[in-house]
Amino acid sequence: MRGGARSWAVWAVGLSAYVVAVLHRTSLGVAGLDAQARFGIGASALASFAVLQLLVYAGLQVPVGVLLDRFGSLRLVVGGALVMAAGQALMAFSDGVGGAVAARVLVGAGDAMTFISVLRLVPQWFPSRRVPVVTQLTGIVGQVGQVLSAVPLAALLAGAGWTTAFISASAAGVFVAVVAMVALHDSPERRISTGEAVTARRLGSDLATAWRHPGTRLGLWTHFTTQFPGTVFALMWGYPFLVAGEGLSRATASSMLTLFVIVGMVGGPLLGVLVQRHPLRRSWLVLGVIAMNALGWALVIAWPGRAPLAVLLLLVVALGLGGPGSMIGFEFARTFNPPNRLGTATGIVNVGGFVASLTTILLVGLILDARTGGRAAYDIADFKVAMSVQYAIGVLGVLGILRTRRLARQRLAAEGVHVRPLREVLAERGWFSAQRLGKG
């Protein structure tokens, strides 16, 4: 039975693999200052580690999506967990940049296999009416992995040291791989599902068809614009910004990253319910999240000198909503594509946020190095200039959303689905007078 206790148990197993994947993904963020000291590198070199990791992740999304349609979730989740565990073990014993680079490549490759594989389980195990909420829960509860990196992993780094911290992370990856191997099932009917063989002709057809649909591209631009501010903050620059820029203690900075996750966990189900109830207004929810992120950073950047803790809390709350907002991109992919093409479409969407993130992470690192001459001695003014680059990426994403939303609505109209302008709906409900809204 879809949606019963067995469904939740299988989903929980997949979710545990994603939680550990997020731990691996964000581990470099809390270890950033330690990594600079261990490897003797500057900000741009450190940023290149994260950029390479995300580049591998983003570059593998479409191939992994195709493999997911062919081989199912179980095999990819187990393989991804073991690849990431190998990467963290390599990082634990690396003393040079070469080993660290190879380690982050492995983490990016394993991470690429995990999230969309767990997302694929949701429509397989739950009725369609529950899918938006469970999808949000998947993305948001998975961010508990950030708490694991911000608190216990950070504590191990400060106490037991580098090697113990990363070996512990590797052990967690092996553990979830074993659990998934024993308990995960691709669908209620089959433990392991196998799709049609992948041929070059079918691969090209699925990719082209998924990409041509403006709903898929709307999902990509949604993910691109909503996800990157939070990812840049949690994965790479948030911890150094709070500690070196804003002068917070390591413990307080870890608490702020924990709050970031909690906000997402609370906001995710709420956005999921709104998406479920108002499926034709999803893009307005997306634009609202983007506006909150932009206003949060504007307040911190405009504040003279270091911002007070209350202002930083507002920023973290705004950024915490970016993760739930990005999950709406996968809803666009799900509703605009048939089940046999879902893995491919989901992979296309998932590329967006990580391309934006890796671009921003690298630009922030380059700007910091340019202002400090490559020395790891940053002040708040350096961070304000560097973090402002996010607005350029955000504007590009908003333009993409507006264009593809218009095209998607034209496609819906051609299929007989009319999306009424939001102002007409608000006027009808008496929120604004027709006079104020205008006649056009």
The pLDDT tens digits of the residues spanning 341-388 come to 777 888 889 888 888 988 898 899 889 888 877 666 778 999 999 999
pLDDT at residue number 132: 79
Q: Dihedral, CA atoms, 242, 358, 398, 294, nearest 10 degrees?
A: 0
The pLDDT tens digits of the residues spanning 120-161 come to 898 888 988 788 788 878 887 887 888 888 788 888 888 888
| Among 259, 228, 226, residue whose Cα is nearest residue 242 | 259
Average of pLDDT values for 391-411?
Answer: 93
Q: Contact at 8 Å (CB) between 88 and 149?
A: no
CA 62, 141, 155: angle at the middle one, nearest 5?
Answer: 105
d(CA 307, CA 305): 6
pLDDT at residue number 437: 38
CATH for the stretch 5-185+213-437: 1.20.1250.20
pLDDT at residue number 431: 53
pLDDT at residue number 64: 86
pLDDT tier, 301 (very low <50, low <70, confident <90, very high otherwise): very high
Compute and round to an integer the Cα radius of gyration of the chain.
21
d(CA 157, CA 112): 26
Single-letter amino acid code for the residue at 200 = A
C-alpha dist (Å) from residue 431 to 52, 149, 280, 288, 426: 48, 44, 18, 18, 5
Average of pLDDT values for 14-18?
Answer: 95
pLDDT at residue number 440: 31
Per-residue b/e over 334-363, b at no fewer than 16 CB within 10 Å?
Answer: bebbeeebbbbbbbbbbbbbbbbbbbbbbb
Average of pLDDT values for 251-260?
Answer: 87
Q: Contact at 8 Å (CB) between 165 and 150?
A: no
Tell me the percentage of the chain whose pLDDT exceeds 90: 37
The structure tokens listed for 128 are 């369609």
Average of pLDDT values for 90-95?
Answer: 89
C-alpha dist (Å) from residue 17 to 74, 119, 158: 11, 12, 26
Could you tell me the residue ranges of all domains in the chain? Answer: 5-185+213-437
The pLDDT tens digits of the residues spanning 44-63 come to 777 778 778 878 888 888 88
pLDDT at residue number 286: 93
The pLDDT tens digits of the residues spanning 321-337 come to 998 899 899 888 888 88
- Average pLDDT in the chain: 85
Q: Contact at 8 Å (CB) between 330 and 135?
A: yes
d(CA 104, CA 84): 9
Tell me the percentage of the chain whose pLDDT exceeds 70: 90
The pLDDT tens digits of the residues spanning 264-282 come to 888 878 887 888 777 778 8
